[in-house]
Structure 1
Amino acid sequence: MKFTTTIDINSPIDKVIALFDNPDNMSQWMEGLQSFQHLSGTPGQPGAKSKLRFKMGKREVEMIETVTVRNLPHEFTGTYEANGVFNIVKNKFVKVSEDKTRYITENEFQFKGFMKLIALLMPGAFKKQSMKFLQHFKEFAEKENH
């Protein structure tokens, strides 16, 4: 399953990138994030691995992030592996004006086992969750800009 999400943020691109690029900010906009633990490699650089733990409703989800491309603002790509789900997320930031930045994510989900059934029954859930992260990041970035 592939899809793209886009949102415009009323904040200059350099401020948006600084907020996005700081892992300490992740809990401000990634709903349900319980912890972010660096595992190996140079943090934020290609090859770096981190463990993210989320609480989604009553479920605990653990995933491993591997940074694959770092060329901000043009691209920050990572893979996210969880039980039955492999996700590639390409983040891009485009300067729309001095005070507006477009945040674009290209998402590709691959499913195994039981998660294939979930994806078939609820394909919109993955796009909805991805869009929710963008909306929360926009709110966080705009609040920090003022």
Structure 2
Amino acid sequence: MNHQYQITIDKPIDYIMELFLNQDNFKHWQKGLISFDNLTSTVGEKGSKRRLKIKTLVGTVSMVEEIIERDLPHHWKATYRTKGVLNMQSNRFRESEKTTDQKTIKQTVWDATSEFKFTGMMRLVAKAKPDLFEQQTYQFMKDFKSFAEDGTSVAGN
């Protein structure tokens, strides 16, 4: 199951990277995030791992994130593993500009690709409720955009 998403954020790429990489900000744009624990001494670098606990529609899920590529500000790729699910997440960022009322605004275009692989009972869940997996990545992106542009946080929701 593959999904592609794109969102444009009205902020420059350097600012977006500051927010994206600061794990203290995760709670502001990853709705349902209960906690995270760094499993390696390096944080946010290629090869680093962290355990995430997220409340979802089907209960609390614990997963391990591993960063497998990092070439920021342009590319960031990670895997997320939990029982029966492997999500390979690829994120590309590029800066663009828009002009309005004689004013130029720097923007960041975020392209994301999620590839899900399922085993065991999760195959049945994915077939019965594919939107559970499809919608979460895009919702995180929309929530990140709101946090970056307006300071709107999903923490506590």
- The amino acid of 2:149's aligned partner reads E
Structure 1 residue ranges, 4+ long, deviating more than 2 angstroms after superposition:
none
Q: TM-score of the superposition, structure 1-length normalised?
A: 0.94
Q: 1:36-86, CA deviations, whole angstroms, 9 ceiling, x for partnerless residues? A: 110114111111110000112461100000110110121111100011100
**d(CA) in 2 for partners of 1:59 and 1:84?**
15
Partner of 2:29: 29
- CA pair 58-115 structure 1, distance change in 2 beyond 3 A: closer
**d(CA) in 2 for partners of 1:110 and 1:94?**
28
Specify the SS of the correspondent of 2:16.
Answer: helix
Q: Does 1:46 align with 2:46?
A: yes
Partner of 2:86: 86
Task: State, as a whole percentage, how many aligned pairs show the same letter.
Answer: 38
Q: TM-score of the superposition, structure 2-length normalised?
A: 0.87
Q: Is the 8 A contact 1:41 1:47 kept in 2?
A: no
- CA pair 128-58 structure 1, distance change in 2 beyond 3 A: closer
- CA pair 58-80 structure 1, distance change in 2 beyond 3 A: closer
Q: 1:75-123, CA deviations, whole angstroms, 9 ceiling, x for partnerless residues? A: 1111000111001101111112152111111111000111101111122
Q: Is the 8 A contact 1:75 1:93 kept in 2?
A: yes
**d(CA) in 2 for partners of 1:41 and 1:65?**
14
- CA pair 48-41 structure 1, distance change in 2 beyond 3 A: farther
Q: Which runs of 5+ in 1 are unaligned?
A: none
- The amino acid of 1:83's aligned partner reads K
